Structure 1
Amino acid sequence: MPRTPDAKGHVPFGEHRTWYRRTGELTGARPALVVLHGGPGSTHDYLVGLADLADEGWPVIHYDQLGNGGSTHLPHAPAGFWTPRLFLDELDNLLDALGLRDGYVLFGQSWGGMLAALHASARPAGLRGLVIANAPASYPLWLGEMRVLRDRLPPEIDEVLLKHEAAGTTDSREYFDAMMVFYSRHVCRLDPWPREFAATFLEIYNNPTVYYTMNGPSEFHVIGTLRDWGVEDRVADIAVPTLLLSGRHDEATPATVQPYFDRIPDVRWEIFENSSHTPHLEEPDRFRRVLLDYLEERV
């Protein structure tokens, strides 16, 4: 079980509030690991196991991005409100509020990895390291690979998906059941799903404002505001040691991750052979070893 947090609460963010939890003491001996969850529109829950790194002396900061979890919900905000810039500003605000600017490491998973890469590309002075986990470098690359992965589904499953996507009935039970065939192959291959991952999944669909606006109704049907967005033109500016993580069966396929590896100057890539999009849950022992080796050797 993850360690009990040493502190949790909210920091003001303009008129809103960002929820956070800190595990481990901020002594300055080692930089804090700040965890950026996926989505956009997810919550920190499925990454809560990273709190165990505090046992090795690495303080860990989790937070829920605006619009979800313990942070302010804004179900009536217009689509134009939800932008990558908003979430970059929220991260900057959190770092300042918690006094982390002198030294921190970012761990970004999925969309959070893209956000972390964009933050790192500005070369902030206090950033000591970067972990980009299961993150595509752009949504156009992601969408191209989604078609490849969907073509490998049983034909009758993809037919159901296509039918409902064309009809705009992606909220139907039939679509959900077909969607889960894809998710069980390329999002989390554990059966049953761990409780913390199921909790995050339910949070998205109980409060879908951000996910539906920026992404769309499913991981592979991206029709939201991010559909043409990416960070590959910025990642060459990243100046800290970077660890890439992905799963062999990941929806973030090697083709979507390759631009990070090709363009970041100091980068290492670890692929988890028995994982999809959540190797921290699917191969936790190896994941912990890889992450701790990176932190101990490079940060």
Structure 2
Amino acid sequence: MSVSETDGYAPVTVHNAGKPCQTFYKIVGDLSSGKIPLIVLNGGPGSTYTYVFSIKDIATLTDLPVVFYDQIGGGKSTHLPEKNGDVDFWTVQIFVDEFHSLLRHLNIKEYNVLGHSWGAVLGMEIAIRQPAGLRKLVLSSGPVSMELWVQVTRKLLETLPADLQQIIRENEEAKTYNSPEYNAAMQEFTKRFVCRLDPLPEEVTAAFKEMEADPTPYVTMQGPSEFTITGNLKDWSVIDDLHKINVPVLVTNGAHDEAQDPVVAPLFQHVPRVRWYTFANSAHMAHWEEREKYMQVVGDFLTQ
């Protein structure tokens, strides 16, 4: 069954951006069908919807429309490299505001949300504010606090061969994050804990390259790497607010995920209505690594 795809741009007001901004979106399916759409939030911050575009399978599987979009600073949406390092500009709130601005533009009143990695962080931030239209929430491989994230990823680093650990340690101390040796060591981390498919899906590789071309949101909010958090998310935690999430939640991660169980477990402990599924053969990207199973688990949750 073929499903229609529609592209567009929505104007978005970004406080202190200094120029007009717009959000690129792609709709898979029919928003006028009367069925509650799924809004997908990609990771990064600063990546692009293309690496989560496999989730379009949900539209075919469930007949629910699926909306993807590039968050501000990434993909085909407005880039703001002049704001690199501006921690007062790059806040969680501008992404929350952009999300609701897009919903208003598309006249979406009721919706489900799926967030992956940073997108799950954004999804939690949206949900704790208890918006009236939110019906269900899927949180895939996203941490509830950066302190937990650093603890877990540092432990994963210790499982790499000793020579790679030393390369990473020396380059982090020297802040030479662009050295070929450091990048080679990071590729091994990626193979083990981000996506275990070989070769990587083209969509994933393309998203990595896009972030390399303009890493503004990522380096400002997170830092130079997955486990060196120097940006303004360094002290971020949502643990104390998880009880405010008032919709059913599906938490997912992979057995080999950089988002290991300790970084998602507080969701299971503190969210009132929650279920948790771990994909046995996946790292951080079950939507590619176990694509069919992922869509089945998410689709069942959304349609029950």
Q: Same fold (TM over 0.5)?
A: yes
Q: How does 1:144-159 map to 2 (within 5 A)?
A: 144-159=151-166
Match of 2:105 among 97, 100, 104: 97
Q: In structure 1, how many angstroms separate the alpha carbons of the residues matched to 2:206 and 2:40? A: 17
Q: Determine whether 1:70 maps to 2:89.
A: no
Alpha-carbon shift at residue 147 of structure 1 (Å):
1.4
Match of 1:264 among 261, 271, 279: 271
Q: Secondary structure at the match of 1:234?
A: helix
Q: In structure 2, how many angstroms separate the alpha carbons of the residues matched to 1:93 and 1:3? A: 29
| CA deviation vs aligned residue, 1:189-241 (integer Å, no higher than 9, x gap) | 01100111111111111111111111112212222221111211211111111
Which amino acid is the alignment partner of residue 232 of structure 1? I
Q: In structure 1, how many angstroms separate the alpha carbons of the residues matched to 2:77 and 2:196? A: 29
Alpha-carbon shift at residue 3 of structure 1 (Å):
6.3
Per the alignment, residue 227 of structure 2 pairs with 220
Q: Secondary structure at the match of 2:32?
A: coil
Distance 1:4-1:212 versus aligned 2 partners, 3 A rule: farther
Q: Are the equivalent residues in 2 in contact too, given 1:186–1:277 (CA < 8 A)?
A: yes
Q: Determine whether 1:20 maps to 2:28.
A: no
Per the alignment, residue 6 of structure 2 pairs with 7
Q: Secondary structure at the match of 1:233?
A: helix
Alpha-carbon shift at residue 52 of structure 1 (Å):
2.3
Deviates more, 1:129-138 or 1:54-63: 54-63
Which amino acid is the alignment partner of residue 57 of structure 1? D
Q: Are the equivalent residues in 2 in contact too, given 1:127–1:240 (CA < 8 A)?
A: yes
Which amino acid is the alignment partner of residue 284 of structure 1? R
Per the alignment, residue 183 of structure 1 pairs with 190
Alpha-carbon shift at residue 29 of structure 1 (Å):
2.9
Q: Are the equivalent residues in 2 in contact too, given 1:243–1:269 (CA < 8 A)?
A: yes
Q: In structure 2, how many angstroms separate the alpha carbons of the residues matched to 1:271 and 1:80? A: 36
Per the alignment, residue 241 of structure 2 pairs with 234
Match of 1:139 among 125, 132, 146: 146
Identical aligned pairs, as a percentage?
Answer: 42
Q: Determine whether 1:60 maps to 2:39.
A: no
Q: Are the equivalent residues in 1 in contact too, given 2:3–2:59 (CA < 8 A)?
A: no
Q: Are the equivalent residues in 2 in contact too, given 1:3–1:23 (CA < 8 A)?
A: no
Which amino acid is the alignment partner of residue 93 of structure 2? R
Q: Are the equivalent residues in 2 in contact too, given 1:215–1:227 (CA < 8 A)?
A: yes
**Runs of at least 5 residues in structure 2 that lack an aligned partner in the other structure:** 14-19
Q: Are the equivalent residues in 2 in contact too, given 1:67–1:209 (CA < 8 A)?
A: yes
Per the alignment, residue 273 of structure 1 pairs with 280
- For this pair of structures, how many residues does the alignment match? 295
Give RMSD over aligned pairs: 1.3
| CA deviation vs aligned residue, 1:55-87 (integer Å, no higher than 9, x gap) | 231101000010110100000113321110111
Q: How does 1:29-40 map to 2 (within 5 A)?
A: 29-40=34-45
Q: Are the equivalent residues in 2 in contact too, given 1:3–1:52 (CA < 8 A)?
A: no
Which amino acid is the alignment partner of residue 234 of structure 1? D
Distance 1:217-1:3 versus aligned 2 partners, 3 A rule: farther
Deviates more, 1:16-25 or 1:222-231: 222-231
Which amino acid is the alignment partner of residue 92 of structure 1? H
* TM-score calculated relative to the size of structure 2: 0.94
**Runs of at least 5 residues in structure 1 that lack an aligned partner in the other structure:** none
Alpha-carbon shift at residue 27 of structure 1 (Å):
2.5
Per the alignment, residue 51 of structure 1 pairs with 56
Which amino acid is the alignment partner of residue 127 of structure 2? A
